[in-house]
Structure 1
Amino acid sequence: MTTELGHFALILAFAVAIVQMIVPLIGAHKRWPGWMAVAEPAAGAQFVLTALSFGALTWAFVVSDFSLNVVVANSHSAKPMLYKISGTWGNHEGSMLLWVLIVTLFGAMAAWFGGGLPPTLRARVLAVQSAIAVAFFAFIIFTSNPFLRLEVPPFDGQDLNPLLQDPGLAFHPPFLYLGYVGLSMAFSFAVAALIEGRVDAAWGRWVRPWTLAAWIFLTIGIALGSWWAYYELGWGGFWFWDPVENASFMPWLLAAALLHSAIVVEKRESLKSWTILLAILAFGFSLIGTFIVRSGLLTSVHAFANDPERGVFILAIMAFFMGGALVLFTLRAGAMEAKGVFGLVSRESALVVNNLLLAVACFVVFVGTMWPLLAEMFFDRKLSVGPPFFNAAFTPFMVALGLILPVGSVLPWKRARISRAMWPLRYVFVLALAVGGLAFVMQTGRSMLGPIGLFLGAWLVSGTVVELLQRTGRGDNRLGRLRRLPRADWGKAVAHGGLGVTMAGIAGLTAWTVDDIRVAQIGQPFDVGSYTLTLTDVQELRGPNYLSTTGFVTLSKDGSEIAQMTPEKRFYPVAQMPTTEAAIDYNLLRDVYVVIGDQQDNGGWTVRTYIKPMTNWIWIGCALMALGGLLSLTDRRFRVAAGARKFSAVPAE
């Protein structure tokens, strides 16, 4: 009964979405208040019905209802409860239902909290958002229905992919989807503004909170996925430039560019066309990510489905929304005339350079991701584009971005003198050079990657401190004025500092990792770097739904024991899949990372050990970036209704 209720709620939500897509658009065009008012209750009803449908599917996973095909394929009665719940979105059908649930959630939030928006703009925003929901409701119902029943239910299920049975990956998809789908609101605002024929400072202020929220969720989702890959896959890395990793990273880059571009629209009413285009492209790359994961076009460990028919449906959705928005953008280009002028040296110019670096970096990632497919289609050649290409092509843009951020942050609006702006940063620059030089002298090799990364990290972090101090002015009670700074200023400083911490962590990890692989005999110590490891025992253990070969390793340094480590090789009998569980001794300055392999003919065991400097700085920096975004989001000036009185919704003829 619960399953039928969920299925019915899904179909009813589809019908409500169609009404919300059509009626408010007609009402806004005809200026009929009653028709425009339909959008708000429809958005709320659409969300409630979709939540009911998703709740019914979740309940089916919780109680192991093996009459549903999706539960059979992705669950098992012996699976821990956390993974029964996460199994709801650990598959193609359930994850698409979560996708559309978040679309309706953002639409409902725009209806509930968008009271300050002009009625015509609000009606059009909600109609465009509902059009996105309609497309994905149709995709779910006609190609990926999660409520399909089996005529003869089996006794038990086939289990969830063991790689997904992990806390990090249980929460990674929801955060990532909140980011992906959050960009749909920026898209809806952009298309609605194009229909209205007006983009001004108030529009820039309205679109920023939605973009910022999406960017925060994307940051958290990407960081969780990176952390999971680091400790779960046993290869010791945090980023492989996998196509699906890139699919989440490209919208993150464009969302960051959109955030900075919207500032210029809000403050100076410039870069209007560019900002609208970024809003369209950011959501477009989210759709590209959805297409990559579900079409089977590119192979990835993260892929949900390999069904070309579903891929064609998503491609049609992407072509409709991207193509339609870009055509509308072309037709309305004349209505987005820039009002503010600025000099070559100014904060506006620095933000333009910021946007260009982020956009070109996104383009580089896109080309590297899609080139193997294009080479096979047009040249009949099978190519592989891996980390060496991305590291060489992408890194220079991030180095340049790190260099200009502190300078751009202290430049005044409209026009500036670079020498005057740089003067307060002179000591900071010397400090950053000293940190980089010290790293170069102390390292054993002569790689420049680590010193450059530490230089950029010190430059960004100390640069944000100087910027905050500048905002307090001179004289007494500077500490009090520092505390009273707007949260957006604090948020920007924390986020930029977090980027510096992440850059330093990535550079240190990449440049100074120590790798050792050997056959270890039980009871015989061996040295890796400055540490001594001893494999004391290997046991066969049983977990809740897996069998484990567990090694017991003693980690010591200078004769003193530091930790007992237990790397594992797990085997899941139901799914017939093995996984690797690395043992990691975490530390702020380094991680010791141990993986156990197979037993060898001489009785020893393959053991791989890494000494990884500064690894945790990567995720600390990501957490700081997300915290900075959250601080900015709580600034009262960035509420959706702020500045509503400044907007005059006059549609273009």
Structure 2
Amino acid sequence: MIVELGHYALILALSVSLVQSVAPLIGARIGDKRLMDIGPVTASAGFLLLAFSFSALTAAYVTSDFSVLNVFENSHSLKPMIFKISGVWGNHEGSMLLWVLILAFFGALVATFGRDLPPSLKANVLAVQAWVLTAFLAFILLTSNPFTRIFPVPFEGQDLNPILQDIGLAIHPPLLYLGYVGFSIAFSFAVAALIDGRIDAAWARWVRPWTLAAWICLTLGIAMGSYWAYYELGWGGWWFWDPVENASFMPWLSGTALLHSALVMEKRSALKVWTILLAILTFSLSLLGTFLVRSGVLTSVHAFATDPTRGVFILAILCIFIGGSLALFAFRASALESGGLFQPVSREGALVLNNLFLTTAAATVLVGTLYPLVLEMATGAKISVGAPFFNLTFGPLMLPLLFAVPFGPLLAWKRGDLAGATQRLYWAIGAALGGAIIVLALTRGTEILAAFGVALAVWLMVGSFADLGQRAGFRKAGLATGFKRLKGLPRSAFGTTLAHFGLGVTVLGIVCVSAFQTEVVTAMSPGETRESGGYSVRFDCMSERQGPNYTEEVGNFTLLRDGTSVDTMESARRLYTARQMPTTEAGIRTEWFSQLYISLGDSEANGGATVVRIWYKPLVTFIWIGAIFMALGGCVSLADRRLRVGAPGRRRAPTAVGAKAAGA
């Protein structure tokens, strides 16, 4: 019964969404407040209906109700509870239901916390949001119904894809969808503003917190996905330039550009046309990623294999929303004012440079991702565009951007002083040179590129604090006064520092693991030892274990240093019995910020030698720690009162004298 109610709630949500997509829009057009007030009510009601529908599907998974086709195909009664729950979104139908739930969630947030928005803008935003929601609800009900029943009821399920049975995949998709779908709010604001024909600095102030929230979630989602692939797939890498990885990375790049562009628009009323276009393109790239993952045109461990009908439906949605929004933009762009003027050397100029490199990098990734697909459709030839292409095109674009990052916050608005900003970065310059010298000394001058990379990372990390140091004025005012000044700074200043520092930490991790990691691929028999990362790795034995829904062969290793045992490690080959699908479980030992990584390959017949891959990865965890710092910087910025849309202002209670005077 709960399943039928969930299906019915999904149909009701589509009906409510249809009302939301029309009534507020008409109300804004004719100035009818009652029609505009329908938007917040329907947005909240739609979210509650979808939350109930999602809960109904979750209940079917938790109770192993195999009369539901989706549960039968993606669950198993012996599966641990955490993976029963994560199995809800570990498939096409369930993940699309989560997609629309998050879409409705953001609409409900605008309805609840957007009380300071102009009524017509709020009505148009909610209507545009409902257009997207309606399209995807129709897609689910017509092609991807998660509540389809089967008869006769199977005794047991087919289990979830084994590589998805991991805690990382319980966290990664929801975070990724919060980022993907969160950019729909920026898109809705952009289209609503184009409908109204009014775009100003206040618009940028309203849209920035929503964009920032989506960017934070997408940053964490990408980092979580990267770490999951690193430890779960057993390949030892942290980024493969997989097309589905690129599909999430492209909106992150354009979303980062949008955040900086919106800042210029808010502060200087400049880059209006460009900011609107970026808001449209960012969500368009999110929609493109949805199409790539679910259309069946890509083969990837991240992709959902689907039939062509679904791909055509999503492609139609893609064309309607991307084509329609760009057509509206082209129609309205000529009527938009260009905004304030500024000199090339200024904070606006630095942010424009930031946008130029980020959008070009996103375009490069887009070309490398889509070119094989376009070529195959045009000629039938199949090619792959891999890491060498992206490293040679994306990397050089990032170098000047990374070098310029510390300068941006130190330049004044409208007209900056580049020489003065350079003087404030002397500490960063000295630290960067020191980092390069240390690397060259340790490697005896053989790793010049690594020295340059470390210098760039240190330049970013130390340079990120230059703006706070300048504002505090420790040198002239002293420590006590300086800390008082820091306390009075807006939180967004600290958020910017943390985000830029995190970027430097990530760059340092990438450089160190790329330049200094060691890899040993060898066949080992029990009792044999290999050297890696300052350890002697001894292969002790193979053993067998039984899991709840799998069997595994476990390789046991002992780590020795100077002949003394310091730790033990395990690496395993699992076989999930329901699907008869093998996976590799890597053994990872973290020492400070570096890791020793062991992965098992095939074994010879009759219990012979086993192929073992041993990597030592110095400072590899910095890659993901840096992403956490970036997201933390976003959270600190989001806590800034100036970015909390609808936050009531603080008012002091009138004193008795003041009240008496007011009465007089």
TM value normalised by structure 2: 0.95
Q: Distance in 1 between matches of 2:94 and 2:412?
A: 49
Post-superposition offset of 1:283: 0.2
| Partner in structure 2 of residue 649 of structure 1 | none
Post-superposition offset of 1:589: 3.9
Q: Are the counterparts in 1 of residues 219 and 631 from structure 2 also a CA contact under 8 Å?
A: yes
Post-superposition offset of 1:443: 2.6
| Partner in structure 2 of residue 566 of structure 1 | 570
| Partner in structure 1 of residue 170 of structure 2 | 170
Q: Are the counterparts in 2 of residues 205 and 643 from structure 1 also a CA contact under 8 Å?
A: no
Post-superposition offset of 1:340: 1.1
Q: How does 1:612-631 map to 2 (within 5 A)?
A: 612-631=617-636
Post-superposition offset of 1:449: 3.8
| Partner in structure 1 of residue 402 of structure 2 | 402
Residue-pair matches, total: 644
Per mean C-alpha deviation after superposition, the further-off stretch among 235-244 and 474-483 is: 474-483
Flag structure 1 segments of 5+ consecutive residues without an equivalent. Answer: 645-653
Q: Distance in 2 between matches of 1:65 and 1:25?
A: 42
| Partner in structure 2 of residue 346 of structure 1 | 346
**Residues 458 and 208 of structure 1, relative CA distance in 2, 3 Å threshold:** same
Q: Are residues 1:475 and 2:477 paired?
A: yes
Post-superposition offset of 1:441: 2.9
Q: Are residues 1:539 and 2:537 paired?
A: no
Matching residue within 487, 494, 497 for 2:491: 487
**Residues 444 and 130 of structure 1, relative CA distance in 2, 3 Å threshold:** farther
Q: Distance in 1 between matches of 2:87 and 2:259?
A: 34
Q: Distance in 1 between matches of 2:502 and 2:530?
A: 37
Q: Distance in 1 between matches of 2:639 and 2:577?
A: 48
The one-letter code of the counterpart of 2:512 is G
Q: Are the counterparts in 2 of residues 201 and 265 from structure 1 also a CA contact under 8 Å?
A: yes
Q: Distance in 2 between matches of 1:66 and 1:335?
A: 57
Deviation string 1:213-248 (CA, Å, 9 cap, x unpaired) is: 000000010011000011110010011000100000
Deviation string 1:239-268 (CA, Å, 9 cap, x unpaired) is: 100010000000000000000000000000
| Partner in structure 2 of residue 205 of structure 1 | 205
Deviation string 1:417-436 (CA, Å, 9 cap, x unpaired) is: 21112111123112212202
Matching residue within 586, 607, 611 for 1:582: 586
Matching residue within 593, 597, 613 for 1:593: 597
| Partner in structure 2 of residue 61 of structure 1 | 61
Three-state SS of the structure 1 residue aligned to 2:424 is: helix
Three-state SS of the structure 2 residue aligned to 1:527 is: strand
Three-state SS of the structure 1 residue aligned to 2:292 is: helix
TM value normalised by structure 1: 0.97
Post-superposition offset of 1:444: 6.6
Q: Are the counterparts in 1 of residues 272 and 339 from structure 2 also a CA contact under 8 Å?
A: no
Q: Are residues 1:32 and 2:32 paired?
A: yes
Q: Are the counterparts in 2 of residues 206 and 641 from structure 1 also a CA contact under 8 Å?
A: no
Post-superposition offset of 1:642: 6.9
Q: Distance in 2 between matches of 1:464 and 1:240?
A: 29
Q: Are residues 1:520 and 2:494 paired?
A: no
Post-superposition offset of 1:480: 2.1
Per mean C-alpha deviation after superposition, the further-off stretch among 103-112 and 524-533 is: 524-533
| Partner in structure 2 of residue 117 of structure 1 | 117
Q: How does 1:432-443 map to 2 (within 5 A)?
A: 432-443=432-443
| Partner in structure 2 of residue 273 of structure 1 | 273
Q: Distance in 2 between matches of 1:449 and 1:11?
A: 58
Three-state SS of the structure 1 residue aligned to 2:76 is: coil
Q: Distance in 1 between matches of 2:376 and 2:440?
A: 43
Deviation string 1:153-204 (CA, Å, 9 cap, x unpaired) is: 1001000000000001111000000000000000000000011101111100
| Partner in structure 1 of residue 133 of structure 2 | 133
Matching residue within 504, 511, 514 for 1:500: 504
The one-letter code of the counterpart of 1:505 is G
| Partner in structure 2 of residue 427 of structure 1 | 427
Post-superposition offset of 1:643: 11
Matching residue within 596, 609, 616 for 2:614: 609
Q: Are the counterparts in 2 of residues 206 and 642 from structure 1 also a CA contact under 8 Å?
A: no
Post-superposition offset of 1:558: 2.3
Post-superposition offset of 1:339: 2.6
Q: Are the counterparts in 2 of residues 205 and 642 from structure 1 also a CA contact under 8 Å?
A: no
Deviation string 1:556-601 (CA, Å, 9 cap, x unpaired) is: 2222323200100000010110000000111234211011222225
Q: Are the counterparts in 2 of residues 491 and 629 from structure 1 also a CA contact under 8 Å?
A: yes
Q: Are the counterparts in 2 of residues 555 and 561 from structure 1 also a CA contact under 8 Å?
A: yes
Q: Distance in 2 between matches of 1:506 and 1:263?
A: 29
Q: Are the counterparts in 2 of residues 215 and 256 from structure 1 also a CA contact under 8 Å?
A: yes
Post-superposition offset of 1:81: 0.2
Q: Are residues 1:83 and 2:83 paired?
A: yes
Post-superposition offset of 1:125: 0.3
Deviation string 1:276-328 (CA, Å, 9 cap, x unpaired) is: 00000000000000000000112111111232111111111111111111111
| Partner in structure 1 of residue 11 of structure 2 | 11
Post-superposition offset of 1:635: 0.7
Three-state SS of the structure 1 residue aligned to 2:616 is: strand
Three-state SS of the structure 2 residue aligned to 1:332 is: helix
Q: Distance in 1 between matches of 2:159 and 2:199?
A: 51
Deviation string 1:67-118 (CA, Å, 9 cap, x unpaired) is: 0100000000000000000000000000000000001000000000000000
Q: Percent identity?
A: 55
Q: Distance in 1 between matches of 2:376 and 2:504?
A: 38
Three-state SS of the structure 2 residue aligned to 1:409 is: helix
Post-superposition offset of 1:374: 1.6
Q: Distance in 2 between matches of 1:82 and 1:481?
A: 47
The one-letter code of the counterpart of 1:94 is G
The one-letter code of the counterpart of 1:219 is T
Flag structure 2 segments of 5+ consecutive residues without an equivalent. Answer: 650-664
Q: Are the counterparts in 2 of residues 588 and 617 from structure 1 also a CA contact under 8 Å?
A: no
**Residues 444 and 141 of structure 1, relative CA distance in 2, 3 Å threshold:** farther
Q: Distance in 2 between matches of 1:617 and 1:134?
A: 41
Three-state SS of the structure 1 residue aligned to 2:621 is: helix
Q: Are residues 1:191 and 2:191 paired?
A: yes
Post-superposition offset of 1:445: 7.6
| Partner in structure 2 of residue 52 of structure 1 | 52
Q: Are the counterparts in 1 of residues 512 and 618 from structure 2 also a CA contact under 8 Å?
A: yes
**Residues 642 and 257 of structure 1, relative CA distance in 2, 3 Å threshold:** farther
Q: Distance in 2 between matches of 1:622 and 1:15?
A: 40
Three-state SS of the structure 2 residue aligned to 1:566 is: strand
Highest relative contact order (Cα 8 Å, sep 6+), 1 or 2?
1
| Partner in structure 2 of residue 647 of structure 1 | none
Per mean C-alpha deviation after superposition, the further-off stretch among 425-434 and 257-266 is: 425-434
Q: Distance in 1 between matches of 2:390 and 2:648?
A: 42
Q: Are the counterparts in 2 of residues 524 and 534 from structure 1 also a CA contact under 8 Å?
A: yes
| Partner in structure 1 of residue 658 of structure 2 | none
Per mean C-alpha deviation after superposition, the further-off stretch among 299-308 and 522-531 is: 522-531
Matching residue within 554, 574, 588 for 2:558: 554
Post-superposition offset of 1:471: 1.3
The one-letter code of the counterpart of 2:386 is G
Three-state SS of the structure 1 residue aligned to 2:575 is: strand
Q: Distance in 1 between matches of 2:394 and 2:446?
A: 22
Q: Are residues 1:367 and 2:367 paired?
A: yes
| Partner in structure 1 of residue 317 of structure 2 | 317
Q: Distance in 2 between matches of 1:299 and 1:445?
A: 43
Q: Distance in 2 between matches of 1:440 and 1:420?
A: 30
Post-superposition offset of 1:529: 4.5
Per mean C-alpha deviation after superposition, the further-off stretch among 632-641 and 263-272 is: 632-641
Post-superposition offset of 1:451: 1.9
| Partner in structure 1 of residue 654 of structure 2 | none
Q: Are the counterparts in 1 of residues 574 and 584 from structure 2 also a CA contact under 8 Å?
A: yes
The one-letter code of the counterpart of 1:517 is V
